[in-house]
Every structure is written in structure tokens, then in C-alpha cells.
Amino acid sequence: MTAESGPGRVDDVGLRVEAPAEGLVDVFLDERRIWSFRPRDVAARDGDLWVVPWPTDLVPFLVGEGRVTVRVPDDEAPAFDGVVRLGGGSGPISVVDSYGRPMVVESSGRLAVIFGSDAVPDRVLDTVEDVLGRLNAAGVSAFPAYGTLLGAVRDGALIGHDSDADLAYISEFSAPVDVMRESFRLQRLLERAGYRTMRYSGGAIKIEVVEEDGFVRGVDVFSGFLLDGHLGLMGELFVPFEREWLLPLGTMDLAGRTLSVPAEPERLLEATYGPSWRVPDPAFRYEKPEATDRRLSNWFRGTRVKRPEWDRRYSMARFTRPAHMGPHALAQHLAEREGADTTVVEVGCGRGQDAYWLAGRGHRTYAFDFASAGYAALDAAATAEGRPVSYHTLNLLDLRHTLAWGARLSRLTGPRAMLARHVLDATNIRGRRHLFRLARMTLGGGGRLYADIVTGDPHAPSLAGTLLYPLDPELVAEEAAELGGRVVEAEQVTTEHTGQPPVGASSLETTAYRMVMEWGA
């Protein structure tokens, strides 16, 4: 180990450094910046030093040896510089993704592959240019926003420490309901143009751009509108603003492309980043006034409850757990009671193994989940093998998904059944009502819904990390009855753990409450 310099310390827990509370601190691994933060955002004070825990997402990568340098940008000497051994490992510490690309902790605390200063992400820029053209032709006024606008105005390039591109448009509508209807229409327009999209809220979508090496980057499209002298811009702003500061749009160069921009882009940048927007700040955090957050959330949000947590779980599960696992007990229960000619509709299929197994037994199967990362591997396998199963994204919290798929599934012929393993207890009341609505539409000609839920103490150790919330079976029965469902079977069963068993659990078994509900002809 080489000599350490600087007053700070670095260990498995984190950093202990001297730095101004409001100032920026950069952390380098082998001379590459991996993290920037402001002590007041992430640290606790201990005498003269700030105690800064490593970001949770970074911890799994901090195994081995590496040279860590901690710098306060204006100081000549580093706050810490030395080779450290972390996590009990011996090889070099490497913070890279599965493609070997260097990752950086973003201001949100998440790890991301940033644009960096070398490569120009052509496909992202192609998408930015094309989507702006399509949106402007579709009747809204579209331009780069947030970090992408900042990069264009400041440097004529994408910001090196950014990881995705942001676009926005100004709607001619003022009422949020109309702004959202328009956003739905524009999403269809982009899907029809061949883009794969994901909806963040009623006023924001992400376009997934697959780069040449298979890496997926996001181009976010945010709705904006003018209402009572204010600019509302998803997902951060509701500020006093003049129409003339935005329209008519001007143009500006970004990495060699001429793009439409607001009439006075500086006004928007100041409203977003404050008066110091010209100074680069990789640790910048939006600090939304509570009133803005309430306003935008109540108008536009509510369809992504726990979605980031499930996405994260599945993105990690891909690396840690095989997709080809056997069926759960509930799927076997269904298979024992339903004929082989029964079409099965599974909602909340997760990794997709139950649908895959049921299709292997000859059931025509439709499998749905709002997070496609979970089932991607078995979707590909089932397609290659010609199994009679199709996987789709369906968001139970969005009425449009529920009604459109309900109408589509209502046209199925022959006997059908539904499977919903730990879905009712993973969603909220809107999701439960929509599931029962979907069941009513799908099983209207007669059929059963098989569901497992957890009951009892919400703080039980067996539920830690499961993302499940215990329900009262009587409440579930009442909610189903409101939409025509009748409980025909209900019992406590011994079944497998949901997700990973809790640390220290001696058994893979746990209990669930099983409910079979029937919809009559």
C-alpha cells in the first residue's frame, strides 16, 4: 500500500473528509471521476470532518484495491489520496457495467454510464433530431430541455456527466387533462414510428434508444404547458414564465446538429438551475418547492407506484438468479384444477416462469407485467422454442391498459383462467380494482382467478424486501364482489418464499393466503 496523503480517510463504510458544506467534492478511482457530491446533501458532521457513506449502488463494486482520490475542486492538495483495499478483495476495483463501460454515481445516487467527453452518441443525437422534428410536425413546440439544453447553450455539446437526453415541448393546451391526452397521442405517434417507449407519468415518457453495442440509453420527452402566467414543465417546474420567452422557437447547434430551442433558452435554464447555471455542477440536485411537487404529482402521477423498485429488482435478478426456475405452487394448483384446453392469463408474471411452464403443458398463455426486464429472458426462450405463450407489458395502474387489454382478452374463445400470484398485495387499491375489472372482462363468460396474497403483520421479518403489503382477505373478497367476483376457495397455504428468503431464514417455505375467485357466465 502506498502512502496516503490528505487529512481524510477512506474505508469500507465510506469517506471522512474535510470540505465546505456547500462546496463540491469529487471522488476519483484510479484518476477517473466516479462520484461528486455536496457534503450537506449526503454527509453527517463529525468534528472537522464530514462522514460520507458510499452510495448504496456503488457498494457491490467496491471490492479489491484501487487508488482513491478525493478532491475539493478549488483546493490544490487532495482531501485524500491513496491506494485502499475495500470489501476484503484483492483484484483491482472496477466500476463498470456488464458491457465493461465505466459507470458514475449520478446526483440521484444511481449508477449510470455517462456520455463522457470522447464518444459522440450518434444514435441518441439521431433520435433527438428525429423526435424533435416529429413533435414539431405534430402541432407542439419541441426543444431540448434540462441537461441537454444546458449542454447546447453552454458548450454546443452533450454534457459529459449526463447519461441521457432530455426533450420537452410546449402544448397549446393549458388544462392538465388535455396536456395528458395529447401526451398519449404523441406516444402513439412515436410508437408507430418504431420507437420503444415507457411512460413515467401522464406528462412524461422515455424513448429507449439501443446503441450499436446493445446498450440502452434514454431520451426523455417532457410535456410543458402555460397556465395562468406559469410554465408547467414535467417533471420539475411550475414557475412564473412568459410565453415570449419560449415562442417562437429559435435554433441552436448541438454536436453539429441544428435543433429547435426556446426563444430565450437562458430564461428556462435559470428557472431550472438557478442563476449559477453557467457553472458546471455534476452534483446538482433539483430542489422542488413542496407546492410544485404536490401540484405536478396530483395532476400527472400515480401510475408508477413501486415501479422503480421492481425494475431494480429484476435488473439485479438477471445477474443473480436463473430465469429457468420451476413453477410456483399457485401455478401448479391452477394446472391441477383447469383443463389443458384452458387459456391462462397471468397478471404480474415477474420473471415469467409460471407462464413459461404452463405453456409447456399446452396451455395457451398470455403473461403480463409492468416491468418487462423480469420476463425478457423467458420471453426470448419461449419464442425460440415455439411455446404458446406471449409476454406483454401491462400497467394495472393505468385505466387505458386495463380497459384495452380487457376488451382484447374478452374476445378469447374457450375456457379461460387467470393467475395473479402476489399481485393484489403488491399494488394499491386502484391496481386491485383494475385487476378485478380485467378479470370481469376476461372471465365474463365464466372462469376462475387464482391469487396468493400475504396477510398479517406488515412488519414480519419474512416480508422484508419482498415489496408486498399484507391484506385482509375479507377486504379483497369485498373488492372482488364489487366487480362480480365470488370467492370459491380460501385457505392458508405453505408455499415458497417470494423473492429471496430473509437473512437467517432456515427454510425456503413460508405461508400465503390463497384465494380462488369465480366470475359467472
CB of 205 to other proteins, least distance (A): 7
Closest CA to 451 of 487, 500, 405: 487
Using a 10 angstrom Cβ sphere, with 0-12 exposed, 13-18 middle and 19 or more buried, the burial of residue 164 is: buried
139 vs 461 by CB, closer to other proteins: 139
303 vs 342 by CB, closer to other proteins: 303
Q: Round to whole Å and give the CA distance between 81 and 10.
A: 9
303 near other proteins, rule: CB under 8 A: yes
Radius of gyration of the chain (CA): 26
DSSP line for 31-54:
TEEEEEE-HHHH-EEETTEEEEEP
CB of 206 to other proteins, least distance (A): 9
Q: In this chain, which of 411, 429, 459, 506 binds other proteins, going by CB under 8 A?
A: 411
Q: Round to whole Å and give the CA distance between 358 and 452.
A: 17
Q: From 137-145, 370-378, 419-427, 467-475, give the range in contact with other proteins by CB under 8 A.
A: 370-378
84 vs 483 by CB, closer to other proteins: 483
Q: In this chain, which of 32, 294, 321, 324 binds other proteins, going by CB under 8 A?
A: 294
Interface positions, 133-192, toward other proteins (CB under 8 A): 175-178, 180-181, 184-185, 187-188, 191-192
310 near other proteins, rule: CB under 8 A: no
Tell me the β-bridge partners of 219: 165, 207
Closest CA to 376 of 352, 356, 359, 340: 352
Amino acid at 97: D
370 near other proteins, rule: CB under 8 A: yes
Binding string, residues 371-410; x marks residues near other proteins by CB under 8 A: xx-------------------xx-x--xxxx-xxx-xx--
Which helix (H) or strand (E) segment holds residue 146: the answer is: helix 146-155
Q: Round to whole Å and give the CA distance between 153 and 158.
A: 10
444 near other proteins, rule: CB under 8 A: no
Task: Report the chain's terminal Cα–Cα distance, integer Å.
Answer: 75
Binding string, residues 17-56; x marks residues near other proteins by CB under 8 A: ----------------------------------------
SS3 state of residue 476: helix
Q: In this chain, which of 108, 174, 298, 315 binds other proteins, going by CB under 8 A?
A: 298
Distant-in-sequence, close-in-space partners of 2: CB < 8 Å, separation ≥ 6: 67, 82, 83
Amino acid at 472: D
Q: In this chain, which of 14, 147, 151, 202 binds other proteins, going by CB under 8 A?
A: 202
Q: In this chain, which of 154, 295, 312, 318 binds other proteins, going by CB under 8 A?
A: 295
Interface positions, 312-351, toward other proteins (CB under 8 A): none
CB of 230 to other proteins, least distance (A): 15
CB of 300 to other proteins, least distance (A): 6
> Reading across the β-sheet that carries 49-53, which strands appear in turn?
9-10, 14-17, 49-53, 44-46
Between the alpha carbon of residue 416 and those of residues 200, 352, 358, 456, the distances in Å are: 32, 19, 13, 31
CB of 325 to other proteins, least distance (A): 23
85 vs 301 by CB, closer to other proteins: 301
Between the alpha carbon of residue 512 and those of residues 428, 451, 452, the distances in Å are: 18, 10, 6
Q: From 32-40, 366-374, 480-488, 510-518, give the range in contact with other proteins by CB under 8 A.
A: 366-374
409 vs 517 by CB, closer to other proteins: 409
Backbone angles phi and psi of 299, in degrees to 5: -70, -50
CB of 239 to other proteins, least distance (A): 18
CB of 398 to other proteins, least distance (A): 6
192 vs 459 by CB, closer to other proteins: 192
Site residues, other proteins (CB under 8 A): 175-178, 180-181, 184-185, 187-188, 191-192, 196-199, 202, 205, 294-295, 298-303, 370-372, 392-393, 395, 398-401, 403-405, 407-408, 411
